[in-house]
A and B are shown apart, each in its own frame.
Chain A
Amino acid sequence: MNSVLITLGLIALPLVAAPIIYLFGRTSVRKQRLLGMTLAKLLTLLVLVLEGLLIYLGVQVWVAGGSVATNIGTIQVGLDGIGLIVGTIAVGLGFCVVIFSIPYMENENGEEKYYALLLTLIGSIVGLACSMDLFNLWVWFELMAISSYFLVAFYNEQPASLESGFKYLTQSAVGSALVLFGIAILFSTTGSVAMWSVWSNATSGTPIVYAAAALIIVGFGIKAALVPLHTWLPDAHSQAPSGISAMLSGIVIEAGLVAMLRTLSVLAQTHFPSGIILLVFGCVNILAGNLLALRQVEVKRMLAYSSIAQVGYMLVGFGVAILSSSYVAAAGGFFHMLTHAMMKGLAFLAAGAFLYVLHIGKGEHTALVLDDLNGAAKKYPVVAFLLSLALLGLGGLPPLAGFMSKWQILVATAGVNSTLMICIVIFVALNSVLSLAYYVPVINRLYRLNISETAAAGRSISWIMVLPMVILAVGIVVIGVWPSLANFLTFNAAASLMYPFGV
């Protein structure tokens, strides 16, 4: 297969398949038969496997020295290092989430729409990562946003779900408008929206270009949950179906971050101080995320706030990379993106499994509070163990993946050898300890307290739900023990990010 077909297939396949999946599902709703819905689920899984295969073929072309890129009209698309890592995370996590959702969403009102929208979400993230054109980037970003609005407000009978959906829609739409304003300014000043020609034309740091960069940081920052702009995140993450929470936290906010980094790398020659801005936002994110997570009583809300802190680690990595042209720090940022997707994906899926067996499976839409988890390990040993594993990984305990990625970021930061950077290393490391203050009590509750009434009355867990969690857990342990496995992904992504900065 040649590179043009691979690129087009990668981008077009999910978007072509999504309406077909919806139609299959729809037939089963009309005729009350299971066949259509089963076909829809199988087709979703098949499309994701094919996407994975296409990414693999693209890497083969790459390794052989070719480039995987093509033009659609004047729009350039291609699979580079960033596209590879984001595509891998989106497809891999999406695969796990689809399997998890088979029992979770069963017989839910509107089940047939769920898989089609989830596939659109995954496809739009892959497209966003492969786009080499600023306006096209915005179109994918908007498609991602629209499909996730539907998914966040999926339980459309619940007032809380509607509230989080509307909040998310308003904030995200404002963000899109600001990004678009920034792109329009860049288009007016450079006469192009193709990334490379904007890069070569935007050479001087005029105030209007800086204004565009600021608009782009704020706009994408709403999706990436930079701290004063994060207020949609805990609501959306806690009210969405659990599989979607895993997707939102694992890849959607990171996709916003990647879009921001790509756009800032286009402005590399204007000497816009993007490095220091990302670094400051990163530190604020870590502190605010940790402090806000400490006082939460709902499990999914606590995990959502911890996502804000985890995005902070990535921001510190990328900030150091841009500020001091450190190649390793950028790789560390991407590494944390990968490990965070696995760990937070696992944490949300495990919390979702508890939510399902304790509440939603019985038809009651109440939130899973920490007290429900008391002693749950006695009744659900496997899921409790997996949740503990994910939480310890997020806290950064040594044999797990989260430690390795944080370590890489901190080592690269310390390697810069300036007083400021050493202060940042100390700050980040202390915050990592602080984060254990809300991860560890959950594990304590799971194992040491007496079993709560809710947990004692829970339903049994289906093995289909446990399977994707086991896949993610194995990934966390393997990457933690053998972190160089991820080097191919992370260092290629770092190369693609740092190339416009002249590193």
Chain B
Amino acid sequence: MSNFPVAFIVILSIISLAGIGFYCLLATRNMIKVIIGLQLMVKGVAMAFILGGNLTGQVNLAQTMALTVIVADTIVAVMGLALAVQVRHRLGTLDIKALSTLKR
């Protein structure tokens, strides 16, 4: 267990990244910040893959998967930002509260 402290630090940062991202989703009302929160969450998870690869001795596989995750996640972010641009055009605001006509 020579790499125990490193693994411990990485686990801590995974949990805190995912936690900060999740808190960001809950606490913010701005569309851009919501997308930043999503990104933070998924980056934490990508780190979990790297840690898993390190623990099981399959660093190459883990890195491939982390890269795939980053690509897929970027597409989601681009899509979210495109929606944010449209919302800003149509409604003149990025506040999520402006987007609640459907609730009933």
Contacts and interface: CB of A to CB of B under 8 A. Distances in A.
Interface string A135-161: 100010011011001100100110110
A170 interface: yes
B41 A191 contact: no
Contact of B42 (A145, A170, A180): A180
B99 A163 contact: yes
B41 A174 contact: yes
Interface stretch (A182-190, A279-287, A393-401, A474-482): A182-190
Interface residues of A, number: 38
A238 B103 CA distance: 12
Contacts of A184: 45, 48-49, 51-52
B92 to A, nearest CB: 11
A44 interface: no
Nearest to B40: A177
A385 interface: no
Contact of B79 (A160, A167, A169, A187): A169
A304 B70 CA distance: 32
Contact of A174 (B31, B38, B101): B38
B41 A177 contact: yes
Given A191-B56, A235-B102, A239-B102, A146 B49 contact: no
A143 B100 CA distance: 27
B45 A177 contact: yes
With most chain A CB atoms within 10 A of its CB, the pick from B51, B99, B102 is B102
B89 to A, nearest CB: 9
B55 interface: yes
Contact of B90 (A74, A157, A176): A157
B79 A150 contact: yes
B80 A188 contact: no
B13 to A, nearest CB: 14
Contact of B18 (A159, A163, A181, A188): A181
Given A157-B90, A188-B56, A166 B80 contact: yes
A188 B52 contact: yes
Nearest to B31: A166
With most chain A CB atoms within 10 A of its CB, the pick from B18, B25, B48 is B48
Nearest to B47: A184
B10 to A, nearest CB: 11
A193 interface: yes
Contact of A162 (B61, B68, B83): B83
Contacts, number: 103
A159 B53 CA distance: 44
Interface string A98-121: 000000000000000000000000
Contact of B62 (A174, A187, A239): A187
A173 interface: yes
A162 B87 contact: yes
A163 B48 contact: no
A188 B65 contact: no
B101 A163 contact: yes
Interface in B81-97: 83-84, 86-87, 90-91, 96
B62 A162 contact: no
Given A169-B83, A174-B38, A181 B45 contact: yes
A177 B14 CA distance: 13
Contacts of B18: 177, 181
Interface of A: 74, 135, 139, 142-143, 145-146, 149-150, 153, 156-157, 159-160, 162-167, 169-170, 173-174, 176-177, 180-181, 184-185, 187-188, 191, 193, 234-235, 238-239
19 contacts: A74-B61, A135-B65, A139-B72, A143-B72, A146-B75, A153-B83, A159-B87, A159-B101, A162-B83, A163-B100, A164-B102, A166-B87, A166-B96, A170-B38, A181-B45, A187-B49, A191-B56, A193-B65, A234-B102
**Shortest 9 CB-CB contacts between residues of A and residues of B:** A188-B52, A191-B56, A184-B48, A163-B99, A187-B52, A142-B72, A177-B41, A180-B45, A235-B102
Interface of B: 18, 21-22, 25, 31, 34, 38, 41-42, 45, 48-49, 51-53, 55-58, 61-62, 65, 68-69, 72, 75-76, 79-80, 83-84, 86-87, 90-91, 96, 99-102
Given A157-B90, A163-B101, A188-B48, 4 more contacts: A162-B90, A173-B38, A184-B48, A187-B56
